[in-house]
Amino acid sequence: MTTEQVDDWASDFDVLDPSYVENPFPIWADLRQRCPIAHTERRAPTWMPTRYEDVTAMAHDVEHFSSQRVAVIPLQVNEGNEAAGQVGEDGPSLEYGLPPISADPPLHTWTRRLLLPWFSHRKVAEYTPFTRELCQRLLDGFDGADEVDAAVDYAQQIPVRVIAHILGVPLEMADTFTGWVREVLEFADDIERREHGILSIVEFLSSEMQRRREDPGEDLLSVLLQSEVDGAPLDDAVVLGMAVLLLIAGIDTTWSAIGSSIWHLATHPEDRDRLVREPELMTLAVEELLRAYSPVTMARMVTQDLEYKGCPMRLEDKLLMNFPAANRDPEFFEDPDTVHLDRENNRHVAFGSGIHRCAGSNLARMELRVALEEWLARYAKFGLVEGATVKWAGGQVRGPRVLRVRLG
């Protein structure tokens, strides 16, 4: 499907429009002033709040704005088929979606509780040495090079291996996973590609589950298969949905955050130099980069006809939860379009807000921090390759996909 040019962003927006993908910031600024909850009929009737106040209020109102079916991953595989995502006639199914992200309470509550300890503040510290060594190894590979693609050769390589390590699936398959996940998330208008991506992931994880049932290990997938809730083992479709979510959710998103942050430092040498000079700023700097370049726009579904601030919303209308736009709302953040590495007032919602706060936020934050620390320790004077085009992916996950940088 080709995208028709957008003339009015308030009434006919399209997050896949090339101008939005490239530079959404002026579009958000215009919408916040003129029509803070934009609307479109493209693909499906959809509303898009752009102010911090509205985005966070809607994220907290899980009664009227459900997470079912409309998480970041479109699941309309085999549309019309009740067991969406079923592989073959008797194959594995995703009939519960991808809990907890695509679930409301009570399914959301207990599936999330099973996952949270794996991504707790304490547990993530255990994954840090693995991540640091991984970054160092990737940087070792750049020895002798004058320039590299920081998106493809660095950012993209990190989160996929960390989550494979946690799930206990082969690290050698990292590039294959990345390919599948991009098919699912970055080609919303190419149904065949999206289906191929999701079905490949489902098939792969189903066979991994089978393998662990026969020979369990201590990895997350094995533990989920042995878990019980209220005295009963988990339904296979729930475990599969959770596993698919874990593989998908942490890859494109974190890679985008790392890539955007490197892009920022490559194009703002004063910030790059300051971070090298004042490494103690890293904690606040990481949050500020997450605020300014939040990768993820989530979705919700309206559960009944209602009016929100004058917008007539209908049952099953979609909502695009524009957390990135909320994080640049001038009503809420001073000088929002400028990165201030030492910003102190920073209640950003890059990881969402309310009960669906990103379950992997501790992990993502650690990966971003370690990726930047290791990069800056090696290359303090890097910048964009002159004349090279930076290519961005956008829509619901925004970040650079081609980012040529010179290393010295």
Q: By CB under 8 A, name the binding residues for other proteins.
A: 56, 113, 116-117, 120-123, 283-284, 287, 344-349, 351, 353-355, 357, 361-362, 365
- Compute the least distance from the CB of residue 334 to other proteins, in Å: 12
Amino acid identity at 81: N
Q: Give the DSSP letter of residue 154.
A: I
Q: Which residues are 296's β-sheet partners?
A: 397
Nearer to other proteins, 186 or 288 (CB): 288
- Compute the least distance from the CB of residue 361 to other proteins, in Å: 6
- Compute the least distance from the CB of residue 290 to other proteins, in Å: 10
Nearer to other proteins, 230 or 307 (CB): 230
- Compute the least distance from the CB of residue 56 to other proteins, in Å: 8
Nearer to other proteins, 152 or 284 (CB): 284
Q: How far apart are CA 325 and CA 350, in angstroms?
A: 10
Q: How far apart are CA 225 and CA 239, in angstroms?
A: 7
Nearer to other proteins, 122 or 277 (CB): 122
Is the Cβ–Cβ distance between 279 and 290 less than 8 Å?
no
- Compute the least distance from the CB of residue 407 to other proteins, in Å: 30
Q: How far apart are CA 370 and CA 159, in angstroms?
A: 11
- Compute the least distance from the CB of residue 346 to other proteins, in Å: 5
Helix (H, G, I), strand (E, B) or coil at 56: helix
Helix (H, G, I), strand (E, B) or coil at 14: coil
Nearer to other proteins, 365 or 398 (CB): 365
| Nearest alpha-carbon partner for 401 in 186, 193, 190 | 186
Nearer to other proteins, 174 or 286 (CB): 286
Nearer to other proteins, 52 or 382 (CB): 52
Strand 318-321 to strand 46-49: parallel, antiparallel, or no bridges (unpaired)? Answer: parallel
- Write out the E strands in 224-326: 228-229, 232-233, 298-302, 306-308, 311-313, 318-321
| Nearest alpha-carbon partner for 337 in 55, 24, 36 | 24
Is the Cβ–Cβ distance between 143 and 182 less than 8 Å?
no
- Compute the least distance from the CB of residue 100 to other proteins, in Å: 13
Q: How far apart are CA 384 and CA 402, in angstroms?
A: 11
